[in-house]
Amino acid sequence: MFANGFSSSPSNTPPPFDRARFPSIEIRDNVAAVHQLLTRELHIDHVAAIIGFSMGAQQAFQWAVSHPDFVDLIAPYCGTAKTYPHGVVRLESAIAALTADAAFNGGDYASPPIKGLTAWAHHWSAWVTSQEWWRRELFKPEFSTPGGVLQAEVERQMARDPNNMIAQARTWQRHNIGDTPGFGGDHEKALRSIRARVLYMPSQTDLYFPLADAEYERAFISRVTFDPIPTLWGHRAGAGRNAADIEFLNARIARALGR
């Protein structure tokens, strides 16, 4: 994915497009790049399935709209075909927490903005799992207290580049399959255009991509199997942190592939 620190990103692109000057990226830009890789370089003109988690789920939907005959099945989980206003606002609050640190310096920081990264990590910790996950203290035995969860997330985020984080958040905010050429911004029309089979697996307790958003979208997809993940792990249900969620996803995907 563009801006992840491995592909072309704010952290590794030379001037004049370095840091906060990195170009705006859409989910469909990532899809276009991978489509070019597959077709021009690897000479692959059709795939059995595209499976994606979170922003990868957004890509899976985009594949089915941008290249309707390229794939037989998409399996998006813990992600939607559009980022709705609440998601935009939530991401904006994370960005605001990071950039409020004076050390951020408009993206031209000389050293990591520690206070901003810490605030971002605390924001992320509050949203990535469900409220019930916290009430039942499912962070145990890995962590003995909520503070341990926060500290681990701070340490994880300190390894990331802030400009990359913001660029990816902006890509997430802007996503709308309705912005694909030919749909005039109408995501419902774009969903109706999907010809591939869709195995749609939202997390029942996701605070990033709420179940209600996925239930709304399913009504416009003609060949959909809607199978929410029964979990208390929120968005992390798709991240491989809980054995029961892994088993659920693997079983559903294997069945959809006829294996």
Query: Which band of pLDDT confidence, cut at 50, 70 and 90, is reported for residue 159?
Result: very high
What's the DSSP call for residue 13? P
The per-residue pLDDT for range 7-57, each reduced to its tens digit, is: 999 999 999 999 999 999 999 999 999 999 999 999 999 999 999 999 999
Question: Considering the chain, what is the average pLDDT of its residues?
Answer: 97
Q: How confident is the model at residue 156 (pLDDT cuts 50, 70, 90)?
A: very high
- pLDDT tens digit string along 219-244? 999 999 999 999 999 999 999 999 99
Percentage of the chain modeled with pLDDT above 70: 100
Instruction: Report the distance separating Cα 95 and Cα 112, nearest Å.
Output: 15
Find, among 50, 6, 46, 25, the residue nearest to 173 by Cα: 25
Which parts of 54-185 are beta strand (E)? 71-77
Write the pLDDT tens digit of every residue in 62-107.
Answer: 999 999 999 999 999 999 999 999 999 999 999 999 999 999 999 9
Extract the tokens encoding 16: 């004049």
Q: For residue 26, give both structure tokens.
A: 């859409």
Gyration radius of the chain over CA positions: 19
Set out the domains of the chain in order of their start, with CATH numbers: 48-82+176-256 (3.40.50.1820), 87-171 (1.10.1740)
Is residue 72 a contact partner of residue 106, using CB atoms and an 8 Å limit? no
Q: What are the pLDDT digits (tens) for 187-219?
A: 999 999 999 999 999 999 999 999 999 999 999
Per-residue model confidence (pLDDT) at position 228: 98
Residues that are catalytic: 54, 206, 235
CB count within 10 Å of CB 190 equals: 25
According to DSSP, the residues that pair with 73 across neighbouring strands are 49, 197
Q: Find the angle CA(24)-CA(27)-CA(30) to the nearest 5 degrees.
A: 90
C-alpha 89/C-alpha 80 separation (Å) is: 16
For the segment 82-91, what is each residue's pLDDT rounded down to a tens digit?
999 999 999 9
Q: Indicate the pLDDT class of residue 259, thresholds 50, 70 and 90.
A: confident
Q: What percent of the chain has pLDDT over 90?
A: 100
CB burial of 76-104 (b: ≥16 within 10 Å; e: otherwise) equals: bbbbbbbbbeebeebbeebbebbbebeeb
Q: What angle do CA 257, 243, 168 make, to 5 degrees?
A: 75
Task: Examine the pLDDT at 121 and tell me if it is beyond 90.
Answer: yes
Query: Looking at the whole model, is its pTM more than 0.75?
Result: yes
pLDDT for residue 223:
97
Give the DSSP letter of residue 1. -
3-state DSSP assignment of residue 124:
helix
pLDDT of amino acid 258:
94
What's the Cα-to-Cα distance from 150 to each of 144, 157, 163, 201, rounded to whole Å?
Answer: 11, 11, 22, 28
